[in-house]
Amino acid sequence: MNIIDVPEGAVAKQGTIDLRGVETSKDFKRKLHGEWEFYPNTLLVSENPKPYKQNGHKIYSTLPESWDKYFNNETNIHYGSYRLTILKDDKKPQLYGITIPEGLSPYELYVDGKLIGSLGDITSDNEKTAPASRPITHYFTLDSSESEIIIQGVQTNRFAQGGFTKDIIFGDLHSMERTKFFSIATQMAVCLVFIFYLLFTALLFAIGIRSKSLIYFAMIIISTCITVLVSSNKILYIYMPINWIWAYKIYYFSYINNMLFFILFLRDLVKEYSKPKILTVVPMLCAVYLLFIVLAPIEYIISTKFIFTILISVSPIIITIFMLIIVIKGKKGVVFLLLTGTAVVTNSLYFSLRQNATLPYSHYPFDLLIAITAISAFWFTQYFQTTLQTEKLTVKLQKEINTKDDFLANTSHELRNPLHGMMSIAQTLLVKQDHQFAEKNNDDLKLLLTIGNHMSYMLDDLLDLVKLKEKTIRLQPKPINVYNLTSGVSNIFLFMLKGKPVELIINIPKDLPPVLADETRLIQIFTNLFHNAIKFTEKGSIICDAEVVGKKLYISITDTGIGIEKDMQESIFEPYEQVDSSMTSIGGGLGLGLSICQELVILHGGTISLSSTVGKGSTFTFSLPIAKNLAVDEADLNAENDASLSKYVSLLNNLSKFEGEITAATEKGSLVTSHSRVLIVDDDAVNLQVLTNVLSTEPYEIETALSGAEALEKLQEGSFDLIISDIMMPHMSGYELAQRIRERFSISELPILFLTARQQREDIQLAFLSGANDYVKKPMEYVELKSRVNALVRVKQTSEERLRIEAAWLQAQIQPHFFFNTLNSIVSLHGVDDEQMEELLLAFSDYLQMSFDFQNADLVVPISYELKLVHSYIAIEQIRFGNRVQVIWDIPENIELSVPPLSIQTLVENAIQHGILPRIQGGTVTIRIAEAEEHFAISISDNGVGFDNTGPKKQTSVGLVNTEQRLKQLFGVELTIESVIGQGTTISFPIPK
């Protein structure tokens, strides 16, 4: 027999290790590969044997090997004992250690009949409660010349090979301790490195770097740590004792989970280079298998172990191949990811080899460390590349900013000269006008002057912004009475509050000390803050108060407006920033007011802050230094007459005037009388005035609306041939308005023309998707605008004309059976009832005459004309069908209204033909017109067969569809149909007064 790997100098023989003559003071450690005495189905205790079975017999087992071959397959649980004799010199006691590898669970270790150590309880642990197997080192003293080592245990895990399939290590205390320490320390060192990376990742996430790759990387680190703690020494099970079933699940779960997030991580890193589908398929497979591991019984997991092996081995190879392809393409930094993939492949291969390893300690941490380090190197490479690129972009951006500032300054100066020339000419013409000067031209010149003032004010803001940035503004501070200045400025804005449920309150005490400030710039600060508060406050109050704190005066302006969201409060003072820059934002402007206010307050040595709650309002508070030992000039400020505000006051007054004119014109009804009605929608009164002036030369009846909601109200009140709408309006954008209109009117029934400054392809596409017929870009060419308006109005008129002609044609195409049946009735009455025959002839003659009348093609006809045709038709049907057709007339005398031609007649014919005549006994038709406060209600009822009112209505009759479309176009109303099977039908519609 061959006995190997025994201590140097020892004599080995069957079942015995001879240590006599071996110098144990030196380090030695050997694998006990020799043959042990093996007692299958027997548990031995040296002095008091307690066998479970009496038929156990001694054989010799060469370790490591599975003991399964020594047992039959009658039972799943096997147990047995190993015995080894140690011979040594009879000297002083010597400390030794023995490492029992993972395998048996539970087991007990005896030396010279004494219990040295154990794992679990061999007398009570069963298959479900047996602890997870792990390598344990036991220490003992050999103090005799011949010692006996017995290991006895039970194999409760029926899915693993029985007995010891890994080496048992024996050696002196020093050797065993050093080996154990090195293995555990290596594993803990790897985990500490991983924890450092995890803390670093958490720090990046905490400072605001929200990246999926960070989450994936953190999960990789956590999973890798678990794989380290459940491998080799299985340190995790020392502090978390669990049974072997959950140990298997944790082992499989940690490795697959690690592979899942590793693939997701690399896929996220290389998504800009490549997006192979397999990198999506493999994670899905891993996720499904993870769910299987958690839910499935252990026997199914063991039986599908090949899936686990394939995912662990094949996935890294696939990833590495893709990394190699990307590296070949020359992508910078990806070589580190290739190194990562290679390290993971190495780890996977080592994992496969380790399954058959015979060493009790088999930890190999280097590939994992290399993988993590390579990933970090890739990130650092990306970071430095991004930093370099950012530096280049920063330099370029700074040049662009300087160029932009210069452009703004130059543009403002270049625009100012022709602007002032235009305004001067307009003012001169206004002054020099004579009596023959047309009043309309006078209004146009005032409008021109107002637009010029508005442009000039915007240019002043742009120039102030550039000057503040370049620090070229020089203040001229002097003592100023804040109460007088605030009162004067607030009086300017009182007219803006007319008609609004908003109160402007000044709570500044008169006895406040003066502040040291530039008068003109302080007026500019108050103007911007007051205007901002009024613009965003629909109802409530705007309160200005002040208090002295230390050496400064703090002034607050509080409103009850819409408020500002928290994420906007930090950037609201930035140039060009607005509370709401969307197309439905309130007001307009460049978003420079608050930025200029902040810069001016800082120049005065103060601060400005904002406190706001969405839906409740905002408070702007700024501070100014108090003017000590300085008196206010007797010629105190009169803000209303200050030259710096004259232009602004003029602009706001003129805008208010235009809004009043537009409102008055809207309330009055129309500006030009014509059959074609155009509704112009814009939140800017000046734009409405300009468009009204442009279209006033055309034969249109023009109405205006200052919001989408007002436009919808006007559509409820009457019909229009065209809607001209701006896109960017507060509360309801032009897109939303068009969508609301399309819920009632089709493209041909009511055309919509958009005026838009948004000229991107997406904006234009959205306009058509919202239901627009056409659009005109701003600034617009008036010839183009008129041409497009004329074309769309013609579309509406053509659609109406088609409906009217269709109705007249339907009436003219008298049903052949009705025509011949009427003639047959006339013939049948001849010689029988000549008086009734004459009555039928007269009714039929009137019916034919009115059916072919050109008046049927008009938009509306008098109610008397329509009822005359109805009378003729009913007379014919009553003569033909006798008492089967009964009619009740409920119509007021001398009623005056107009209805679309062939509307009531069509509904009456429908009631008779499809309502009462299908019944053998016939029925009654009721024609009713009732006068309400705002409209006439017309209804035609019958007690006929009725129909199912839950399905599609109106689509079964061309006449009903045509009638409803004409009613919708003319009055914006629809037919209301109520029907019950067997009880009858009522069709009604209103006609506005």
Q: Which own/partner contact pairs does 444-452 have at CB distance under 8 Å and 24+ positions apart?
A: 444/693, 446/654, 447/658, 447/686, 447/689, 447/690, 447/693, 448/422, 449/423, 449/654, 450/650, 450/651, 450/654, 450/655, 450/658, 450/686, 451/686, 452/419, 452/422, 452/423, 452/426
Confidence of residue 458 (pLDDT cuts 50, 70, 90): low
Give the span between the Cα atoms of 587 and 593, in whole angstroms: 13
Note the pLDDT of residue 680. Answer: 92
* C-alpha 299 chain-centroid distance: 45
- The CA-atom distances, in angstroms, between 406 and each of 402, 412, 462, 465, 577 are 6, 10, 11, 12, 20
Query: DSSP code of 24?
Result: T
Note the pLDDT of residue 308. Answer: 85
Query: DSSP code of 626?
Result: B
Average pLDDT estimate for 63-81: 78
Are the beta carbons of 264 and 339 closer than 8 angstroms?
no
User: Tens digits of per-residue pLDDT, 321-348?
Assistant: 776 776 666 666 666 766 776 776 666 6
pTM of model > 0.75: no
Note the pLDDT of residue 641. Answer: 43
* 977 pLDDT higher than 80: yes
Note the pLDDT of residue 117. Answer: 92
User: Nearest CA to 979 among 891, 909, 910, 900?
Assistant: 910
* C-alpha 638 chain-centroid distance: 52
User: Tens digits of per-residue pLDDT, 506-531?
Assistant: 888 888 889 999 888 888 888 888 88
Note the pLDDT of residue 139. Answer: 92
Burial of 262 (0-12, 13-18, 19+ CB in 10 A): buried
SS3 labels along 319-383: HHHHHHHHHHCCCCCHHHHHHHHHHHHHHHHHHHHHCCCCCCCCCCCHHHHHHHHHHHHHHHHHH
Residue 396, amino acid: K
- The CA-atom distances, in angstroms, between 595 and each of 400, 573, 662 are 21, 5, 33
The strand pair at 722-726 and 752-756 is best described as parallel
Range in 488-492, 713-717, 722-726 with the lowest mean pLDDT: 488-492
| Torsion sign across C-alpha atoms 37, 38, 39, 45 | positive
State residue 10 phi and psi, 5-degree precision.
-80, 155
Q: Does residue 921 or residue 337 have the better pLDDT?
A: 921
Q: Does residue 77 or residue 992 have the better pLDDT?
A: 992
User: Tens digits of per-residue pLDDT, 249-296?
Assistant: 998 998 888 888 888 887 877 776 667 777 788 889 999 999 999 999
* 123 pLDDT higher than 70: yes
CA atoms within 13 A on the CB side of 548: 14
Q: Which residues contact 439 (CB under 8 A, 6 or more apart)?
A: none
Note the pLDDT of residue 591. Answer: 55
Query: DSSP code of 496?
Result: G
Most confidently modeled of 346-355, 446-455, 534-543, 816-825?
A: 534-543
Average pLDDT estimate for 360-378: 65
Give the span between the Cα atoms of 271 and 561, in whole angstroms: 46
User: Tens digits of per-residue pLDDT, 286-331?
Assistant: 999 999 999 999 888 888 888 888 887 777 777 777 767 766 666 6
Structure tokens, 583: 């197309």
User: Tens digits of per-residue pLDDT, 166-207?
Assistant: 888 888 888 888 888 888 888 888 888 888 878 888 887 888
User: Tens digits of per-residue pLDDT, 2-18?
Assistant: 333 445 545 555 567 77
Confidence of residue 29 (pLDDT cuts 50, 70, 90): low
User: Tens digits of per-residue pLDDT, 627-670?
Assistant: 877 666 655 444 444 544 555 555 555 555 555 555 554 444 43
* 230 pLDDT higher than 60: yes
Burial of 68 (0-12, 13-18, 19+ CB in 10 A): middle
Q: Which residues contact 28 (CB under 8 A, 6 or more apart)?
A: 7, 8, 22, 171, 172, 175
Give the span between the Cα atoms of 480 and 519, in whole angstroms: 7
Range in 81-95, 828-842, 884-898 with the lowest mean pLDDT: 828-842
Note the pLDDT of residue 592. Answer: 65
Range in 462-471, 522-531, 929-938 with the lowest mean pLDDT: 462-471
* C-alpha 18 chain-centroid distance: 78
Average pLDDT estimate for 581-590: 49
Give the span between the Cα atoms of 642 and 637, in whole angstroms: 8
Q: What is the share, in percent, of the chain residues with pLDDT greater than 70?
A: 68
Give the span between the Cα atoms of 746 and 743, in whole angstroms: 8
Confidence of residue 583 (pLDDT cuts 50, 70, 90): very low
Confidence of residue 53 (pLDDT cuts 50, 70, 90): very low
User: Nearest CA to 524 among 656, 639, 624, 409?
Assistant: 639
Note the pLDDT of residue 544. Answer: 92
Q: Does residue 981 or residue 18 have the better pLDDT?
A: 981
